[in-house]
């Protein structure tokens, strides 16, 4: 019996079953036997070893074990087909767009960080909390003058040019900052709700240079020293007035 026609018979049968399964009017779901045969032929086709490929000119050669070779009509598009080229082109564009978008985000983040660092003025002094707060005359004075201060929250910082910032909370829960000068009189506090920037300004004017509360020695008249509360420190920013003013 001649078995040379067996692979082509299996191939024709597989093509016919595929048309019933994937064609315009599929009906193989109603034929369990045909469906089982299709699965059997598909499994046999996938079992063909890679070296059983065609010679490059005609129909693919049959495998040595008699299993049918893949049907070109049902295989995935080759690398050179228009569909394959379009998929590769769109995938490359998508990857390129993702890389460009990612690089743009990183660049904008770095630019924003650098702008914020460059745009922020550097403090002229950074005052740290002082030790032995309970022994400092500032706290005794503050406790004596201000009944509105919560004594458990009083915190003093290093003096700057004879002026010492003191932080405390008031009975409303507001954060307050006072700047004490020589003599330790009781200056009015600047108080803000939690979450709002807290600072106090000390101005230097001709009639206040001798005052024990206002004025910063060594600065031109009209200058401003801003004490900015940071929690762990108090930053001092000087805004000297022009001598021509």
Quickly state the pLDDT bin for 30 (edges 50, 70, 90).
confident
Mean pLDDT of the chain: 73
Contact 198, 192 (CB under 8 A): yes
Contact 187, 237 (CB under 8 A): no
φ, ψ (nearest 5 deg) of residue 97: -65, -40
Query: Looking at residue 146, what is its pLDDT?
Result: 60
SS3 content of the chain, % helix, strand, coil (to 5): 35, 20, 45
Quickly state the pLDDT bin for 151 (edges 50, 70, 90).
confident
- Whether the predicted pLDDT of 81 surpasses 60: no
- Whether the predicted pLDDT of 8 surpasses 50: yes
CA distance 124 to 109: 28
Work out the percent of the chain whose per-residue pLDDT is above 70.
Answer: 60
- In 3D space, the residue among 187, 197, 189 whose CA is nearest the CA of residue 234 turns out to be 197
CA distance 5 to 155: 100
Cα 21 to chain centroid distance, Å, stands at: 50
Upper half-sphere CA count for residue 1 (Cβ side, 13 Å): 3
Q: Work out the average pLDDT over 46-66.
A: 53
Work out the percent of the chain whose per-residue pLDDT is above 90.
Answer: 13
> Hey, where are the domains in the chain?
1-75, 78-120, 125-239
pLDDT tens, position by position, 161-174:
888 898 989 888 99
CA distance 113 to 107: 10
pLDDT tens, position by position, 173-213:
999 998 887 655 567 788 999 989 999 988 876 554 444 34
Look at 129-138, 184-193, 209-218 and tell me which has the smallest mean pLDDT.
209-218
Contact 63, 69 (CB under 8 A): yes
């Amino acid at each position: 019996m001649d078995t040379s026609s067996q692979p082509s018979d299996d191939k024709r049968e597989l093509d016919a079953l595929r048309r019933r399964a994937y064609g315009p009017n599929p009906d193989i779901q109603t034929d369990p036997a045909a469906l089982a045969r299709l699965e059997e032929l598909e499994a046999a086709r996938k079992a063909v070893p890679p070296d059983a490929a065609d010679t490059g000119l005609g129909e693919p050669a049959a495998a040595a074990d008699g299993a049918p070779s893949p049907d070109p009509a049902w295989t995935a598009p080759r690398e050179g087909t228009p569909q394959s080229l379009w998929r590769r082109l769109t995938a490359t564009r998508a990857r390129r767009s993702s890389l460009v978008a990612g690089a743009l985000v990183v660049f904008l983040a770095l630019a924003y960080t650098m702008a914020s660092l460059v745009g922020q003025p550097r403090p002229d002094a950074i005052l740290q909390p002082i030790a032995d707060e309970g022994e400092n005359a500032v706290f005794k004075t503050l406790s004596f003058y201000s009944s509105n201060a919560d004594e458990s929250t009083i915190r003093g910082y290093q003096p700057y040019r004879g002026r010492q910032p003191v932080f405390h909370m008031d009975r409303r829960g507001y954060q307050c900052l006072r700047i004490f000068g020589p003599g330790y009189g009781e200056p009015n506090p600047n108080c803000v709700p939690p979450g709002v920037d807290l600072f106090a300004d000390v101005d230097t004017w001709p009639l206040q240079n001798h005052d024990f509360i206002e004025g910063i020695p060594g600065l031109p008249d009209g200058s401003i020293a801003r004490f900015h509360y940071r929690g762990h420190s108090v930053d001092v920013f000087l805004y000297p007035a022009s001598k021509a003013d």
